Amino acid sequence: MALREITVLPTATGPRDAELVDGARAGERWACEALFRRHAPRANGLAFRLLGRDEDVDDVVQDAFVQALSSLDQLREPNAFGGWLGSMVVGRVGKLIRRRKLLTRLGLRRREPPIDPDELVGRSCPADAAIELRAVYGVLESMPADARIALILRRVEGLTIDEVAALVGASAATVKRRVAQAERQLRRDHGDGDAVGPRSARRDATDETAERVRLGEGGER
C-alpha cells in the first residue's frame, strides 16, 4: 500500500508505531531497530521510484531515517511515522537531484544517464502500466527536480494532490502547478499525458524490483 497511509495498525508480530516512537524517544535501541525494519522497505521503494536504480538509494534511506530519529520530538502524531519518514526521503532525493544538476552545469559531474524503466518494472507488471512507466521515466532527466518528484508521487505512487503537498512540504496549488508542468512535457514528448493503468498497478509494478535490489539479488534482466 502507498506511503500516504500514515497510521500503522498493530500486528501479531509487533506494537503500533506510536509505541515504537515512544520507545525510540526514550533511547530504546530495540524500538529504533523495529521502526527501521518496519519502514525501510517502503522508504526504499519510494527512493527507488524517485531515483531509479541508483547507487545513492540506500544512503538516502539511511540518512532520512537518521534524520527522523534525531528529530522525533517534532513528530506530533507518533502513528504518522511512516509518512513523516517518507517526507524526509522525498526531501533528500530533491536535494540530491538539484545538487547533481548543479554539478553537471558547472562541468564537475557527468550528465546523468536516463533511468532505464526496464530496470524498475517487475516481472508481473501489466502491459498498460509498463507502457506508462516507460513514458514517465523517459522524460524525467530533463525536468526540474520539483516537477520530477511531483510527477512520480502523483503518477507512480498514486498520491492525491494534498498527499503530495504534505510529502514535499508545499501548498496544494504549488503541487498542481508542478504536476501540470510535468504533464505538459509528458504530452509533448509522448503525445498523451493521461494515465493508462491503475496507479496501484504502476507502484506495485516497481515494488518487486525495488525489494530485489534492496536485498542484493540483482536486477530483473
Other beta carbons within 10 angstroms of residue 113's beta carbon come to 8
What does the pLDDT look like over 137-175, one tens digit per residue? 989 988 999 999 999 999 999 899 999 999 999 999 999
pTM for the model:
0.82
Lowest mean pLDDT among 29-38, 55-64, 124-133: 124-133
Distances (CA, A) of 52 to 2, 79, 133: 18, 29, 12
Residue 102's pLDDT is 94
Segment 11-27, tens digit of pLDDT: 546 799 999 999 999 99
Residue 54 has pLDDT above 70, yes or no: yes
Which domains occur in the chain, in start order? Answer: 14-112 (1.10.1740.10), 115-209 (1.10.10.10)
